[in-house]
Structure 1
Amino acid sequence: MMLSAEELLAGSELTFEVEIPGDVLQPGKNDWEENPSRRTVRLRPLTIHDLQLIDRAAKESDNLVAALMVHRALVEPDMTVADIMNMHVGLMQFLLHQVNQVSGIEATSDLLSMTMEAPLAKAAFILAREFGWTPQQVNELTLGQVLLHLQMLKEKS
């Protein structure tokens, strides 16, 4: 059964509740209250458009790339980039890993920066041409969705 463009783009609208383990939230604190509802955040997948904005804004700073990725994906609670930059490193790494998971990617910031260069632009062009999508529709895809669609096109030919 052939999927529609709407079905393929639906993944970028999803949100995910992620529980932050107490030892990640407050390392070294042994008497953490066992109440998972107080330790959740809501994340959404990053889109190509998000990655392009992050790449332009962060340029050569890996730390800023990570903070911007978490900021763009964090739906709740509402936090500023400055707030995120003030998180302890373990919490930032945990959230970044979760952002990568919900976005369908597992990449270092170096790999992410390289991916956002010309190959990503070429991939967006190919997807728009092959599926008849508008640039806005392609920009709403997560990186994982782009890779999946490119693989589908590769197998089709």
Structure 2
Amino acid sequence: MQLTPEDLLIGASITFDVVISPSVLHPGNNQLPINEPQPDLVVQLRPLTIGTFQLIMKAARNDTALIPLLMIKESLVQPAMSLEQVKQLHLGLVIFLIQHIREISGLTEKKIQLVV
């Protein structure tokens, strides 16, 4: 079966629900009730396209620390956040989100180094 351009492009429009555990969202918070069921804490991500990734690399040419922040800003569908808001996320959450963005975007071969 031959693929059409639409078949190849469909993956870029899919969104993924990613559950964030309370321990990732609030690291070091030992006051969360262990036995009580916690509601799913979900964000919605979309894969990065090559066009978006090229823009990120160009924008971060002089400051590579912007790469993970721009990746999160561009991938995060719900809740949408500004770059200034993304800059305020704690490092553990940034690493968690980047791992998922890399996975859904097919960036599993070469690691992009987080520069903090």
TM range (shorter): 0.7 to 0.9
In the aligned structure 1, how far is the partner of 2:54 from the partner of 2:17?
Answer: 25
Rounded Cα–Cα distance in structure 1 between residues aligned with 2:95 and 2:69: 10
Pick from 76, 92, 111 the counterpart of residue 108 of structure 1: 111
The higher radius of gyration belongs to 1
1:1-26 Cα shifts (integer Å, max 9, x gaps):
11211111100000000001111100
Give the counterpart of 1:99 among 84, 97, 101: 101
User: What is the aligned residue count?
Assistant: 108
> Structure 2: which 5+ residue stretches go unaligned?
none
Find the residue that maps to 2:65 and give its secondary structure: helix
Aligned residue in 1 for 2:22? 22
Give 1:91 deviation, angstroms: 0.3
8 Å contact from structure 1 (residues 62, 109) kept in 2: no
d(CA) in 2 for partners of 1:94, 1:60: 25
Q: Give me the whole-angstrom Cα distance separating, in 2, the residues matched to 1:90 and 1:62.
A: 18
Name structure 1 gaps, 5 residues minimum. 111-157
Distance (Å, rounded) in 1 between the aligned partners of 2:75 and 2:81: 11
Name the residue aligned to 2:88.
Answer: 86
| Cα RMSD after superposing both structures | 1.4
TM-score by length of 2: 0.86
Shift in Å at residue 60 of structure 1?
A: 3.6
After the TM superposition, which segments of 4 or more aligned residues of structure 1 sit over 6 Å from their partners? none
Partner of 1:12: 12
Residue 62 (structure 1) shift: 2.9
